[in-house]
Amino acid sequence: MSTSRLFAARDLHSRAERDSSAGVTRWMLIYIVVALLLAAMSLLVGTSSLRTSLEWLRTPAALSDAVLWEIRLPRALGAWLAGALLGLGGAIAQNLFRNPLAEPYLLGSASGAALGVTVCLMAADVSLSGLAWMGELGVTGAAFVGAAAGIALTLTLSRGVLQTASLLLAGVVVAFLLSAITSLLLLRSPDTWRAMQSFLLGTTGLLGWQSVGLLAVVLAICLVPAVLLSRGLDALTLGEDTARSLGLPIGGLRVALLALLSLATAAAVSQAGIVGFVGLVAPHLVRESVHVNSRQLIVAAPLCGGVLLQAADLISRWIIRPSELPVGIVTACLGGSYLVVLLWRRAQRE
Amino acid sequence: MLSAHGITVRFGSRTVLEDLSLDITGACWTSIVGPNGCGKSTLLRTLAGLIDPQGGTVTLEGRALSAWPRRECAKRVAWLPQSTMASDLTVRECVALGRFPYTGWLGNTRPADEEAIARALKATGAEEWSKRRLSTLSGGERQRVSLARLLAVEAPILLLDEPTTHLDPPHQIDIASILRQQAHHCDGTIVSAIHDMAVALMADRVIVMGPHSLVGHGTVSEALEGDWLSRAFGTEISIVRSGTSYVWQPRLPG
């Protein structure tokens, strides 16, 4: 059974009765409450023991303030925001391309960002941690420029935004091409390769207040127009020609949605590296739990994506503490397990 | 009134329509019939403004289609595609999209929109599934919902591309009776490409197309008297009257 069939397969009748906006609101509230709980928990988890963290919360001191409010809190908020942007990107991509396997990185942003960071690190000839004291602008700026360049290359190759098939194909070509160039560069520079690992696997360790500010601004910039355009996404599910016959400006709509997708993804990748699966899985999780139209999905998928990355961040810090796993490995495990569960449920239905 | 003035449509080097002119007007149901690949869908899509012809123009109420603001045009000419996507929307959400030319991006429906949606659901008998998702409906049910989405626009001109394809005979008749009802009781101008000859000839008028061009445009009896169908298909087409309808009698050669 192909994965796309697995995704396309829906429980035909049992969920039809759950169609209500009350259900969506309830799920959104659940995501928000879980996000707050996870944020509180993430204040307690780190290289120091749980008891020490609790002690820090009770009796504030210079060191504890620094760890709790300058490291752990922005990290938790940043993880939520990056996950939310990936969830939003996934929701836009899946609806725009009418493909349940579409994900935020499909336009070449991830490989572009990876190449940008590689080039930046090789030029600076320093490691990620070495660069941290200089501020993260160097690496994140390079990642953002790389992501934007990857997307621009994809759009150039596909000669515009109107042909879905050529866009997807161009995205695949650009991803392979840029990854090959990145691998070639990394082969020549083992030090950079080690430093790149955390970026390639996704990392929430570098998220500071500056990242939180940037991600929050981008999320606000992307979310408002995405909600306004969501009725266009609904119409697109009936086919492009039908949408056009209803008076929708298809070209303009696609340009606007691709711009939002690119901005959201580039911002997330630049701050948290290439975190896989969140953008793919978040919209599916929302749709599996409750019936949503595009507008509800555009709001619920970021809430869900935020919780996913926050949870993954917490697990990555908890599971082998005092050391930590790259968060991308955790999201890959969680996302992969979710696919297996979907597969199993589908087999049960049949 | 929707008119084509000498339209020519080419896909690459292939000419699909050549110098075709016709006027569509009045409250009646017109069927487009013709052999496979003669350009029925292309004609409908051109009339709907979805294809820009390489030559000639399509005018709506005397003004070129391309000169109309998109949503104003959509209020007047509605189009139904050959197949409908298995969308995750509910039936009601889908039908409500038919009001997009009126409600716009925010989708706030006014009482007039609600009434139009209710009328469309009732006319097609789709109201009982209004909370179900399109992906959970059968092909026939989904086709009715698409038709409801089309009717919800309440456009004076409705263009339908093969609305009865993949439907069993009783469902084809259901769709045909809805179309006739819309033409005769709701003053609609309806043009539909229909493959099944018996269903197509239930219409008031026919547009008979041969390869690339028009064979004739007139009432069903004019078409039968002039033997337009045989000319369009390039082989003898024998139609016999059976009660109030017409039946095609297939004959194997030899």
Chain A, residues 269-298, CB within 8 A of chain B, namely: 287, 291, 293
Separation CA A98–CA A236 (nearest Å): 8
**pLDDT reading at B195 higher than 90:** no
DSSP state for residue B46 in the 8-state scheme:
H
Q: Is some CB atom of chain A closer than 8 A to the CB atom of B34?
A: no
- Please tell me the predicted confidence (pLDDT) of residue B42: 94
Helices and strands (H and E) in chain A: how many = 17, 0
Separation CA A239–CA A216 (nearest Å): 33
Lowest mean pLDDT among A80-89, A139-148, B103-112, B219-228: A139-148
**pLDDT reading at B67 higher than 60:** yes
C-alpha closest to that of B91 among A88, A179, A115, A238: A238
Cβ-contact B8, B169 below 8 angstroms: no
Interface with chain A: mutation pick from B136, B141, B162, highest number of A CBs within 10 Å: B136
Nearest to A238 among B45, B73, B85 (CB): B85
C-alpha closest to that of A118 among A139, A100, A101, A136: A139
**pLDDT reading at A1 higher than 70:** no
Separation CA A98–CA A47 (nearest Å): 43
Q: Is some CB atom of chain A closer than 8 A to the CB atom of B81?
A: yes
* pLDDT tens-digit readout, A224-264: 999 999 999 999 888 889 999 999 998 899 889 988 988 89
CB pair distance less than 8 Å for B88 and A12: no
Q: Which residue has the higher pLDDT, A129 or A244?
A: A244
- Please tell me the predicted confidence (pLDDT) of residue A16: 41
**pLDDT reading at B186 higher than 90:** no
- Please tell me the predicted confidence (pLDDT) of residue A62: 66
Q: Quick one: angle between helices A250-272 and A73-96, nearest 10?
A: 150
- Please tell me the predicted confidence (pLDDT) of residue B254: 66
- From residue B116, give the alpha-carbon distance in Å to each of A244, A327, B29: 20, 51, 21
Separation CA A155–CA A258 (nearest Å): 10
Give me the amino acid identity at B162. Answer: E
- Please tell me the predicted confidence (pLDDT) of residue A7: 42
Nearest to A16 among B81, B100, B133 (CB): B133
DSSP strand pairing (B14-24 vs B2-11): antiparallel
Q: Is some CB atom of chain B closer than 8 A to the CB atom of A12?
A: yes
- Please tell me the predicted confidence (pLDDT) of residue A82: 95
Q: Is some CB atom of chain B closer than 8 A to the CB atom of A98?
A: yes
- Please tell me the predicted confidence (pLDDT) of residue A126: 55
* pLDDT tens-digit readout, B40-64: 999 999 999 999 999 999 999 999 9
- Please tell me the predicted confidence (pLDDT) of residue B240: 84
Tokens linked to A224 = 């408002």
**pLDDT reading at A136 higher than 80:** no
Cβ-contact A77, A64 below 8 angstroms: no
Q: Which residue has the higher pLDDT, A302 or B123?
A: A302
Separation CA A248–CA A237 (nearest Å): 13
**pLDDT reading at B243 higher than 50:** yes
* Torsion region of A48: left, alpha or beta (phi above 0 gives left; psi -120 to 50 gives alpha): beta
- Please tell me the predicted confidence (pLDDT) of residue A38: 92
Q: Which residues from chain B sit within 8 angstroms of residue A12, using beta carbons?
A: 135-136
Q: Which residue of B has its CA nearest to A19?
A: B131
| CB atoms inside a 10 Å sphere around CB A325 | 17
**pLDDT reading at A129 higher than 60:** no
* Torsion region of A195: left, alpha or beta (phi above 0 gives left; psi -120 to 50 gives alpha): alpha
DSSP strand pairing (B157-161 vs B55-60): unpaired
pLDDT mean over A175-184: 92
Q: Is some CB atom of chain B closer than 8 A to the CB atom of A252?
A: no
- Return the SS3 of A114: helix
Tokens 């509800």 — which residue? A296
Q: What is the 3-state secondary structure (H, E, C) of B167-186?
A: CCHHHHHHHHHHHHHHHHHC
Longest dimension (CA), chain A: 65
- Average pLDDT across chain A, whole number: 82
Separation CA B180–CA B172 (nearest Å): 12
Predicted confidence band of residue A127 (pLDDT cuts 50, 70, 90): low
Lowest mean pLDDT among A112-126, A171-185, A202-216, B190-204: A112-126
- The distance of A248 to chain B (nearest Cα, Å) reads 7
Q: Which residue has the higher pLDDT, A138 or B99?
A: B99
Tokens linked to A282 = 């978040």
Tokens 């336009």 — which residue? A107
CB pair distance less than 8 Å for A244 and B131: no
- Please tell me the predicted confidence (pLDDT) of residue B81: 92
Separation CA B26–CA A99 (nearest Å): 42
The reported pTM is 0.84
* pLDDT tens-digit readout, A295-344: 999 999 999 999 999 999 999 888 887 778 888 889 988 888 887 888 88
Lowest mean pLDDT among A141-150, A220-229, A297-306, B154-163: A141-150
- Please tell me the predicted confidence (pLDDT) of residue A4: 44
- Please tell me the predicted confidence (pLDDT) of residue A123: 75
The count of C-alpha atoms lying within 13 angstroms of the C-alpha of A301, restricted to the half-sphere facing its C-beta, is 35
Cβ-contact A266, A4 below 8 angstroms: no
Predicted confidence band of residue A20 (pLDDT cuts 50, 70, 90): low
Q: Is some CB atom of chain A closer than 8 A to the CB atom of B111?
A: no
- From residue B179, give the alpha-carbon distance in Å to each of B44, B148, B239: 16, 11, 22
**pLDDT reading at A152 higher than 90:** no
Predicted confidence band of residue A102 (pLDDT cuts 50, 70, 90): confident
**pLDDT reading at A15 higher than 50:** no
Tokens linked to B17 = 């329509």
**pLDDT reading at A11 higher than 60:** no
- Please tell me the predicted confidence (pLDDT) of residue A162: 67
Q: Is some CB atom of chain A closer than 8 A to the CB atom of B84?
A: yes
Separation CA B157–CA B164 (nearest Å): 19
Chain A, residues 229-248, CB within 8 A of chain B, namely: 229, 231-232, 234-235, 237-239, 241-242, 244-248
CB pair distance less than 8 Å for B101 and A247: yes
Q: Which residues from chain A sit within 8 angstroms of residue B101, using beta carbons?
A: 246-247
Would you say how long chain B is, in residues? 254
**pLDDT reading at A90 higher than 80:** yes
**pLDDT reading at A96 higher than 90:** no
